[in-house]
C-alpha cells in the first residue's frame, strides 16, 4: 500500500487515480494526525507526503511529520511533494531521511518512475537475502578482482536494473566512465542509447544548445536544426561527466530537466518529454562545493540517490598486474607486436608506484614502455627508465621563474607541455596529470589555441 498525505482533496484524488491505474494499492489522508494513525497500525510500502497542511508555507509541519513517521517505519521510502519555490524545504527533508522529492505540478510519468525506483531499491536487500541474482553482471572492459573493485561491482549489480540516479565519485583516471557504461549495459535500457556528455567541456553560452537542441534561426549561428543530448538519450541513459564543473546558471537549467523530465528546444517553446536514466560523475568533493555555495544543494540531492565511490589505484594494488598485462596485450595487438611478457621484478616495480593519475597513468606508462623498449619481455629497468623520464618532464614542466602569479605559472606550464608534446593534447593532459576535459577548460581560460 502507498500512503498519500496531502490536505488538498484534488491532489489526493489525482494521485489515488494515477496509482490505481498503475496497479498500486493507495490510501489517502488529509492531515498529519490521520497519517500517524495509519503508520501506527500499518506498514506502507511507500509514502507520498506534502510539506504544508495549514495556511503557513514554512514546511515545518512536513519536516516534523517526516521525523515522526520515520520513528514508526524507518525503512519505508518517503517522497516529498513541494512547490518549485520551496525546494530548499525538500532538501531539508532529504537531510532528515526522505528518499526523494517532486515539485508541483509534477509529471505523472516521472513520479511513477521515482516510485518504481524507490520500491525496487527498498526491495533489493530482501531479495538478495532470499535468492541468487537473476542475471550475471556484464563487466566488459572492467579489469580486476580486488576486494575494493568487487564491492563496487556488487553495487552496480544491485542497482543497474533500477532507474535510480547514480553519482560516481573518485579521483581522475579511476575509470568512472567504465562504471557508467556498466550500469547502462546491465540495465533494462541496455538496447537504448547511452549518451556521454562532458559537462566540463561545454561553455555556459552553448549549454542549452548542446543539451536541449535548437531550431534553425534560434540564434545568429543556428543555420540548421540541432538535436540536443537529452533528446538523443530518450529511453536510454545519459552520462553527465564532470558535473562538479558545471556553472551555477547551468545547474538551474539542468535541475529542471532532471526534476520534470521535460525540456524546451531553443527557438521552440513547446515542452518535450524525455525518459532517461541519469548517471553523473565527478572527481570534485560536491558536499564541499555545496557548503561553498558553488554547487546547488537541490541538484546534489537529485543526482546522488545512489553514490558509487571508485577506489584509487593505490587502494587496489592487487589489480595492477592484471591491468598492466591487459594494456600491454591490447597495445601489442594494435601494433602487430608479439604478445608481451612481464618479469616478476617488473610487476613488483609497477605494483609499488604511487599512481597519482590512477589507471590512466598506469596505462600510459605500460604502453609507452612497450613501444619504446621494443622488447617482448619487459623488465623493471624498462619501466623505471620511462617513469623517471615522466618525472623529469613534469619537473621541467612545473618549474617557472619566480615572481609569477599562479595563473601565469599555470599558463606557462601548459605552453611548455604543448611545445614538448607538439600539441598532442592526450599526451599533454597525461603529463600534467589532468583529464583532457580539464585541459580544455584551462586552454579556454588562458586563451591558448592548440
CB 79 within 8 A of CB 47: yes
Strand partners, 194: 237
Domain end, chosen from 311, 346, 381, is at: 311
Asked whether residue 27 falls in the same domain as residue 122, the answer is yes
- The pLDDT score that the predictor gives to residue 403 is 54
Are residues 81 and 142 part of one domain? no
Domain boundary among 286, 311, 336: 311
One domain, residues 158 and 289: yes
Per the structure block, which three cell numbers stand in for 162? 533500477
pLDDT in tens, 134-149: 557 888 789 999 999 9
DSSP 59: -
SS3 158: helix
Instruction: Please tell me whether residues 89 and 119 are part of one structural domain.
Output: yes
Report whether pLDDT(400) > 50.
no
Q: Band the pLDDT of 438: cuts 50, 70, 90.
A: confident
Q: pLDDT tens digits for 167-224? A: 999 999 999 999 999 999 999 999 999 999 999 878 888 898 899 998 888 787 778 8
Residue 366 placed within a domain: no
- Residue 229: pLDDT band by 50, 70, 90 thresholds? very high
**132 exposure class (CB count in 10 Å sphere: 0-12, 13-18, 19+):** exposed
- Asked whether residue 89 carries a pLDDT value surpassing 50, the answer given is yes
Is residue 28 in a domain? yes
Domain that holds residue 445: 400-450
pLDDT at 133 over 60: no
Q: In terms of domains, do 37 and 124 share one? A: yes
pLDDT top residue among 280 and 403:
280
Taking 70 as the threshold, does the pLDDT of residue 405 lie above it? no
Choice between 414 and 395, residue whose per-residue pLDDT is larger: 414
Residues 252 and 208 in one domain: yes
Question: Distance between CA 363 and CA 434 in Å, rounded?
Answer: 14
Instruction: For residue 349, tell me if it sits in a domain.
Output: no
Closest by CA to 4, choosing from 111, 96, 126, is 111
Q: Are residues 111 and 152 in the same domain?
A: no
Residue 397: is its pLDDT beyond 60? no
122 with 145, same domain: the answer is no
Q: Assign residue 422 a region: left if phi > 0, alpha if psi is -120 to 50, beta otherwise?
A: left
417 and 442 both lie in a single domain: yes
Asked whether residue 367 is assigned to any structural domain, the reply reads no
With contact defined as beta carbons under 8 Å apart, do 110 and 261 qualify? yes
Percent of the chain with pLDDT over 90: 45
Confidence (pLDDT) at 217: 81
Q: How far is CA 143 from CA 178, 240, 269, 313, 339, in A?
A: 10, 23, 46, 12, 18
Q: State pLDDT tens for residues 314-340.
A: 999 999 999 999 999 999 998 888 999
Query: Is residue 392 predicted with pLDDT exceeding 60?
Result: no
* Any domain includes 380: no
> In this structure, what C-alpha cell is assigned to residue 36?
500517524
pLDDT at position 175, please? Answer: 93
Domain boundary among 311, 334, 350: 311
Closest C-alpha among 282, 264, 298, 275 to residue 197: 282
**pLDDT bucket at 129, cuts 50 / 70 / 90:** very low
Predicted local distance difference test score (pLDDT) of residue 57: 65
Highest mean pLDDT among 43-47, 81-85, 413-417: 43-47
Judged against a pLDDT cut of 90, whether residue 420 lies above it is answered with: no
Overall average pLDDT of the 414-422 stretch: 82
Quickly state the pLDDT bin for 110 (edges 50, 70, 90).
Answer: confident
What letter would DSSP give residue 112? H
- Residue 242's contacts (CB-CB under 8 Å, 6 or more residues apart) are 198, 199, 200, 201, 281, 282, 283, 435, 437, 438
Domain count, the chain: 3
Please tell me the pTM assigned to this model: 0.73
Provide the terminal-to-terminal Cα distance of the chain, rounded to the nearest Å: 60
Specify whether 111 is located in the same domain as 251.
no
pLDDT, tens digit, 9 for 90 and up, residues 50-63: 988 876 667 788 88
CATH number at residue 258: 3.40.50.300
Written as one string, the DSSP assignment of 310-348 is PPPGGG-GGGHHHHHHHHHHHHHHHTTPPPPEE-HHHHH
Per-residue confidence (pLDDT) for residue 352, from 0 to 100: 93
Q: Distance of alpha carbon 273 from its chain centroid, rounded?
A: 21
pLDDT of 158-168, one tens digit each?
Answer: 889 888 899 99
* Whether residues 196 and 225 fall in one domain: yes
- The answer to whether residue 159 is domain-embedded is yes
Same-domain pairing of 100 and 61 = yes
Q: How confident is the model at residue 391 (pLDDT cuts 50, 70, 90)?
A: low
The more confidently predicted of residues 108 and 311 is 311
Q: How far apart are CA 205 and CA 221, in angstroms?
A: 12
Amino acid at each position: 500500500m502507498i500512503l498519500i498525505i496531502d490536505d488538498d482533496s484534488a491532489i489526493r484524488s489525482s494521485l489515488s487515480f494515477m496509482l490505481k491505474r498503475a496497479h498500486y494499492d493507495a490510501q489517502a489522508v488529509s492531515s498529519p494526525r490521520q497519517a500517524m494513525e495509519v503508520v501506527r497500525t500499518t506498514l506502507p510500502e511507500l509514502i507520498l507526503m506534502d510539506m504544508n497542511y495549514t495556511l503557513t508555507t514554512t514546511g515545518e509541519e512536513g519536516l516534523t511529520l517526516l521525523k515522526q513517521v520515520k520513528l514508526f517505519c524507518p525503512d519505508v521510502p518517503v517522497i516529498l511533494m513541494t512547490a518549485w519555490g520551496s525546494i530548499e524545504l525538500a532538501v531539508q527533508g532529504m537531510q532528515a531521511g526522505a528518499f526523494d522529492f517532486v515539485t508541483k505540478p509534477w509529471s505523472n510519468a516521472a513520479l511513477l518512475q521515482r516510485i518504481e525506483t524507490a520500491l525496487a531499491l527498498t526491495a533489493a536487500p530482501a531479495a538478495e537475502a532470499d535468492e541468487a541474482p537473476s542475471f550475471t553482471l556484464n563487466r566488459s572492459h572492467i579489469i580486476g578482482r580486488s576486494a575494493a573493485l568487487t564491492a563496487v561491482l556488487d553495487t552496480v549489480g544491485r542497482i543497474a536494473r533500477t532507474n535510480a540516479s547514480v553519482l560516481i565519485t573518485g579521483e581522475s583516471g579511476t575509470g568512472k566512465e567504465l562504471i557508467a557504461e556498466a550500469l547502462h549495459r546491465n540495465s533494462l535500457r541496455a538496447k537504448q542509447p547511452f549518451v556521454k556528455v562532458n559537462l566540463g567541456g561545454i561553455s555556459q553560452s552553448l549549454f542549452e544548445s548542446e543539451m536541449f537542441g535548437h531550431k534553425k534561426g534560434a540564434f545568429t549561428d543556428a543555420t540548421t536544426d540541432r538535436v540536443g543530448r537529452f533528446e538523443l538519450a530518450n529511453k536510454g541513459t545519459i552520462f553527465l561527466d564532470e558535473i562538479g564543473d558545471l556553472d551555477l546558471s547551468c545547474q538551474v537549467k539542468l535541475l529542471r530537466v532532471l526534476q520534470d523530465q521535460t525540456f524546451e528546444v531553443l527557438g521552440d517553446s513547446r515542452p518535450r518529454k524525455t525518459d532517461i536514466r541519469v548517471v553523473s560523475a565527478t572527481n570534485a568533493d560536491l558536499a564541499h562545493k555545496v557548503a561553498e555555495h558553488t554547487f546547488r544543494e537541490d541538484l546534489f540531492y537529485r543526482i546522488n540517490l545512489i553514490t558509487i565511490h571508485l577506489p584509487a589505484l593505490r587502494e587496489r594494488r592487487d589489480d595492477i598486474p592484471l591491468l598492466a598485462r591487459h594494456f600491454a596485450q591490447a597495445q601489442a595487438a594494435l601494433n602487430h607486436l608479439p604478445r608481451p611478457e612481464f618479469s616478476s621484478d617488473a610487476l613488483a616495480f609497477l605494483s609499488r608506484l604511487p599512481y597519482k593519475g590512477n589507471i590512466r597513468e598506469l596505462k600510459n606508462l605500460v604502453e609507452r614502455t612497450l613501444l619504446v623498449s621494443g622488447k617482448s619481455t619487459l623488465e623493471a629497468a624498462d619501466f623505471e627508465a620511462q617513469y623517471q623520464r615522466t618525472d623529469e618532464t613534469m619537473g621541467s614542466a612545473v618549474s617557472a621563474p619566480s615572481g609569477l602569479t599562479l595563473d601565469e605559472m599555470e599558463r606557462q606550464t601548459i605552453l611548455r607541455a604543448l611545445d614538448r608534446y607538439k600539441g598532442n593534447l592526450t599526451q599533454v593532459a597525461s603529463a600534467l596529470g589532468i583529464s583532457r576535459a580539464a585541459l580544455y577548460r584551462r586552454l579556454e581560460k588562458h586563451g591558448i589555441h592548440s
